[in-house]
Structure 1
Amino acid sequence: MTAGRTRVDPHVKVLDERVVDRARESGIDTLVYAPHFTRLSEIRDRAERYSTDEVTVVPAREVFTGDWGNRRHLLAVGLSDPVPDFITFEAALAEFERQGAAVLVPHPEFMNVSLTRAEVSAYRDRIDAVETYNAKLFEYQNDRGTRIAEAFDLPAFGSSYAHLRGTIGAAWTEFEGDVRGEAALVEALKEGSARSVVKHTDPATRLRRLAEFAHLGYENSYGKLDRLFLSGMEATHPRHIAYDGRFDDVAVY
């Protein structure tokens, strides 16, 4: 932690010793780990395993609300109970609120997976922050997030959104004060604590962005095919036995 400030990368998809080492070398104090299609219990176990004295790993969930053709991603930090993917948007928000989680909007208006400007406007009283810088996205895409946050007077955050280890350290959110640990971070997010978004724009970072987009192409081709047809029911499917039928009435599949 730098003098009186805490560097947080609020959204990463990868986690191992090399990721934590890279975060430490970049001066990042906290990584928020939110992999796709992974149950909260597994995320928590992995976050605890890789947390160190220098880098705290906070578990989170990026929940896919809606169906594959009309899905909206929400990032929830501070969940105490599991929330599946593929439930209605309203049901996900209600569950986040019941648990007192911070609700973040990642990559607004990106492709067909993100909240639109109109949706952020409609739900702004239930949103704690909007992503204004995502190291995976190009400037014109990040500019949309900035305009949305400013239009509705919502706090900003920036993240590496790292799906690849090399992207760790490309961007972070720097909070005033000590917000290390899950409870402190959730409080800072929900209270709109003072912060700034820090980003790198050097040639190496721009090259990593292209690598991330290539990885995105894989995810949306073979990766999606595998999830839809080859691997069977997702671990975070609302009708999975792990959820004991609690979300059957709000499941979209």
Structure 2
Amino acid sequence: MTYRVDPHVKVLTDRVVERAKRAGLDAIVYAPHFTRLPEVRERAAAYSDDDLLVIPAREVFTGTWRNRKHVLALGLEEPVPDFIPLETAMAEFDRQGATVLVPHPEFANVSLAEADLRRYADVIDAIEIFNPRHFPWDNRRARDLADSLSLPPFTSSYAHLPRSVGVAHTALEAAIETEADLLEAFDDGVARRVIYDDGPYRWSTTASELGNLVYENTWEKVDRLFLSGTEPTHPQHIAYDGRFDDAAVY
């Protein structure tokens, strides 16, 4: 039995769900930026139905804006904030027994480097080897890293825009009915296939997503740093009860 999942989607709307179902997906993992875990869980539950399982997750921004390393964590029991050191986040994921996926390795200044991957290989459950925002050489580098570290691969749409959903997914060779089943499949490294569109639509998706990336790193970055006040996922936010106050990087 094959279970088709898109393990990293940043947006969740009726249109996203419609596109996911049209693409034949069984599940998507919803991990929006700068959104606390309870809100992610609530929204994911609201959009799940018998035809599409929506699983909540957090892409945690470790480090500072200048040198941040993103890590995707599924199955968290307790919230983990952004803007804490990578080692603090990884220790927390390990403590909670979370499923840890590495998106876009060694991409720009937002990713785990090879040294990080080697250091935390025993915590990491899979490495992304195809990302629609990548150029071919980025994907080749990611595949080489997964092979050299003997870590299972995955791919996702990494959809920041609804139109990107369906351009890539991971087909797991497992019978999966619940979120717990999916986490177990990743944790156990079950056989899988990495499936993606590499035709004209993929490249138009890449162009659109890279345009969104430029926005994220210009106006949106200025807005978050200087205009919007304390991020809801800042480690010193009241929601974290002071647990991460000393770990905040700014």
1:38 maps to which residue?
35
1:187 maps to which residue?
184
SS in 2 for 1:125: coil
1:110 maps to which residue?
107
1:71 maps to which residue?
68
1:91 maps to which residue?
88
Q: Normalized against structure 1, the TM-score is what?
A: 0.97
Indicate the percent of aligned positions where both proteins have the same amino acid. 56
Over residues 8-48 of structure 1, what are the superposed CA-to-partner deviations in whole Å (9 max), with x where a residue is unaligned? Answer: 00001010111001000000000000011000000000000
Of 242-251 and 168-177, deviating more is 242-251
Given that 1:136 and 1:162 are in contact with CA atoms closer than 8 Å, whether structure 2 keeps it comes out as: no
> Does residue 1:251 correspond to 2:248, yes or no?
yes
Task: Tell me, in whole angstroms, the C-alpha distance in 1 between the residues paired with 2:126 and 2:184.
Answer: 12
Superposed, which structure 2 residues align to 1:43-192 within 5 Å? 43-192=40-189
Question: Displaced runs of 4+ in structure 1, greater than 6 A?
Answer: none
Task: Tell me, in whole angstroms, the C-alpha distance in 1 between the residues paired with 2:49 and 2:133.
Answer: 26
Over residues 95-147 of structure 1, what are the superposed CA-to-partner deviations in whole Å (9 max), with x where a residue is unaligned? Answer: 11111111111000000110111221122112111000112212111111100
Task: Tell me, in whole angstroms, the C-alpha distance in 2 between the residues paired with 1:179 and 1:92.
Answer: 28
2:229 maps to which residue?
232
Given that 2:174 and 2:190 are in contact with CA atoms closer than 8 Å, whether structure 1 keeps it comes out as: no
Q: Normalized against structure 2, the TM-score is what?
A: 0.98
The amino acid across from 1:219 in the alignment is E
2:16 maps to which residue?
19
SS in 1 for 2:122: helix
Q: Deviation at 1:180?
A: 3.8
Task: Tell me, in whole angstroms, the C-alpha distance in 1 between the residues paired with 2:176 and 2:83.
Answer: 31
Task: Tell me, in whole angstroms, the C-alpha distance in 2 between the residues paired with 1:212 and 1:241.
Answer: 33
Given that 1:83 and 1:92 are in contact with CA atoms closer than 8 Å, whether structure 2 keeps it comes out as: yes
Task: Tell me, in whole angstroms, the C-alpha distance in 2 between the residues paired with 1:173 and 1:135.
Answer: 13
2:195 maps to which residue?
198
Given that 1:6 and 1:180 are in contact with CA atoms closer than 8 Å, whether structure 2 keeps it comes out as: no
CA RMSD of aligned residues (A): 0.9
Q: Deviation at 1:181?
A: 2.6
Q: Deviation at 1:179?
A: 2.5
Task: Tell me, in whole angstroms, the C-alpha distance in 1 between the residues paired with 2:109 and 2:24.
Answer: 34
